[in-house]
Amino acid sequence: MRRTPWWSSGVRFSCQPDCGACCDQPGGVVFLSRHDIHRLAKRHGLSDDDFVARDCTTSQNGRLVLKSREEDGVCIYLDGGKRCGVYADRPQQCAAFPWWSENLVNRRTWSKVKATCPGIDASEAFLIDGSTILRHVNADLEAGQGVRLPLSPYVER
């Protein structure tokens, strides 16, 4: 028998303007799905392969991840005002935050995330229903599976 997740009845959350706390973590790793690569390449007017060469690197196990800035180790798309430069096309993993499976294991792990994310239970936050949370968890899990080189012929064109 499956237990109902603690978050299934919903959780209050609202991204905070100019926060960037989830992106401003030196050493953070953003895994990319095939769809992420294609969408971001298109945004920048690049082929998928050229986008990967310019904005990606590989993790220790060979999955493609976004590069970090050399000077501080944070996401290359986070600007000085703590805003995402590709917000409308951001990777699935980014869009899924804070709804990552490792954050939702139990209320204790959630409280650790809450300590760093001002959007959780913010005064103006609204209830995110369990089915929406599950959709984000699944998107994050898909991105976490990652993509490895060579891309061709597997990337959507």
Distance in angstroms (rounded) separating the CA atoms of residues 49 and 130: 37
Reading the block at residue 82, the tokens are 């703590």
Q: Which residue reads 């028998």 in tokens?
A: 1
Q: Transcribe 76-128 into DSSP letters.
A: TTB-TTS-BTTGGG--HHHHHTT--GGGSSSHHHHHHHHHH-TTBT-TT-EEE
Using a pLDDT cut of 90, give the percent of the chain over it. Answer: 68
Please provide the average confidence, as pLDDT, over all residues in the chain: 90
Among 24-28, 67-71, 102-106, which stretch is predicted with the lowest mean pLDDT? 24-28
Is 154 a residue whose pLDDT tops 60? no
When comparing pLDDT for 18 and 128, which is higher?
Answer: 128
Is 1 a residue whose pLDDT tops 70? no
Using a pLDDT cut of 70, give the percent of the chain over it. Answer: 96
What pTM was estimated for this model as a whole?
A: 0.85
Distance in angstroms (rounded) separating the CA atoms of residues 83 and 79: 5
- How crowded is residue 113: how many other Cβ atoms within 10 Å of its Cβ? 17
- For the four alpha carbons of 106, 118, 96 and 61, in that order, the dihedral sign comes to negative
